[in-house]
Amino acid sequence: MRSLLSPEGRSALAGLASARNPLFAFDFDGTLAPIVTRPDDAQIPLPVSRRLGALAARRMVAVVTGRSVADVNARLGFAPKYVVGNHGAEGVSSSQAEAWARTLDPLRSTLRAAKSQLSACGVRVEDKGLSIALHYRTAADEAVARAAIEAVLRGLADELTVVGGKCVVNVVVRAAPDKGDALLALASECGADTGLFLGDDDNDEPAFAKLPPHWVTVRMGPDFARSQAAFYLDGPSQMATLLQMLLDLHHPP
């Protein structure tokens, strides 16, 4: 895998400038916003949000996140054309959203019954409507917290599946779209012939795998060696540099 700031990466970015209608899509946590101890404290650095706003004024920009749409909208500081939440399940038109939410109801009952046990291990449950996250970043013993989560999720219904993350276990509805499905749907809706997608976690890998090879796909952070993305960046600290490169390439049409 090559660095996006290498000559090969810069050439790929320059190719987007000549595309008819590119889509620029970004994950939130660990990509636009640095990972923090408490997810509620996450925010985009001002130099990044300003450049994102400038890019969104010129090109189609999307934020595709594991957070709910309402949660992430309050944290952006700019107005992208599209916001997709819940790992791809929220924000793309679907008549199945209510059914997907109901599919999580048995798990909700299980988690309510295990609330004291999980809390004692430092696990925080976040119900996002179309997915449920079990956070353990602040747990005193991460191994104990992970074991408690595994015990509660043992025998998970076939309609549900687990997606790993950085100190979080996400439960999603198997039939719901993932980030790859969501990005392909957005590209079709807006007529994008190519694009860029950056993400940093396991729930971004379906997008790296499903997007056409002429897209520029980028894994953020030190886990890039096992990724299906074409390029990598060291982390969110390089976002302002990347966005300035994109702004320099993508002048107002």
Q: What does 47-114 look like in DSSP terms, one character per residue?
A: HHHHHHHHHHTTSEEEEE-SS-HHHHHTT-SS--SEEEBGGGTBSS--TTHHHHHHHTHHHHHHHHHT
Assigned token pair, 78: 């700019």
Name residue 218's beta-bridge partners: 198, 231
In angstroms, rounded to a whole number, what is the distance separating the alpha carbons of residues 153 and 113?
12
AA letter at 201: D
In angstroms, rounded to a whole number, what is the distance separating the alpha carbons of residues 109 and 73?
29
Selecting among 27, 71, 201, 204, the annotated active-site residue is 27
Name residue 60's beta-bridge partners: 23
Name residue 162's beta-bridge partners: 171
Of 210, 237, 249, 209, give the one whose Cα is nearest residue 9: 249
Question: Angle at which helices 239-249 and 7-17 pack, to 10 degrees?
Answer: 40
AA letter at 145: A
Assigned token pair, 59: 């090109």
Return the DSSP state at 172.
E
In angstroms, rounded to a whole number, what is the distance separating the alpha carbons of residues 239 and 244?
9
Active-site residue flag, 27: yes
Assigned token pair, 99: 């059914």
What positions carry a catalytic annotation?
27
